[in-house]
Amino acid sequence: MATNSTTKRIGRISRHKRIRARVSGTAERPRLAIYKSNRYFEVQIIDDTVGKTLGSVKLADAVKAGQEIAKKAKEKGVSSVVFDRGGFRFAGQIIKLADAAREGGLKF
C-alpha cells in the first residue's frame, strides 16, 4: 500500500508531465522551471530546443530565489520566460517566487 507522501509525489509528477506536454522553452523565451523540496527552491532557466540550462539557483527563500534567477536571466539577455510550476500548486511560496522574478524584470 502506498504511503501518503508517495501518493502526493506521484500526483505531482503526473501533473508536471501534463504541464510539460504544453510548455516548452525556446531561445527567445526559455522555460523557468521550479522544483520545491522541504528545504530548498531550485529554479532553472532552460532552453529546451538545445537542452541547455542557461542559469540556476538553489536557495531556501522563495523571494530571494526569484530575485536571483531574474538577475541571472538579465545577465544572459533573457527578459521573457515561460513559467513551469513543476506540478506544484500556484499558491503560497510559488506565487512569492513568481512575483519576485517579475519584480526583477522577467515577463511571463
pLDDT tens track for 64-82 = 999 999 999 999 999 999 9
What does the alpha-carbon distance between residue 40 and residue 86 come to, in Å, rounded to a whole number? 14
What's the longest Cα–Cα distance across the chain?
Answer: 49
Q: Which structural domains are found in the chain, ordered by start? A: 4-103 (3.30.420.100)
DSSP codes, 34-79: EEE-SS-EEEEEEETTTTEEEEEEEES-HHHHHHHHHHHHHHTT--
What does the alpha-carbon distance between residue 3 and residue 69 come to, in Å, rounded to a whole number? 34
Task: For residue 101, give the nearest of 92, 79, 86 by alpha carbon.
Answer: 79
pLDDT tens track for 14-69 = 999 999 999 999 889 999 999 999 999 999 999 999 999 999 999 999 999 999 99
What does the alpha-carbon distance between residue 61 and residue 73 come to, in Å, rounded to a whole number? 18
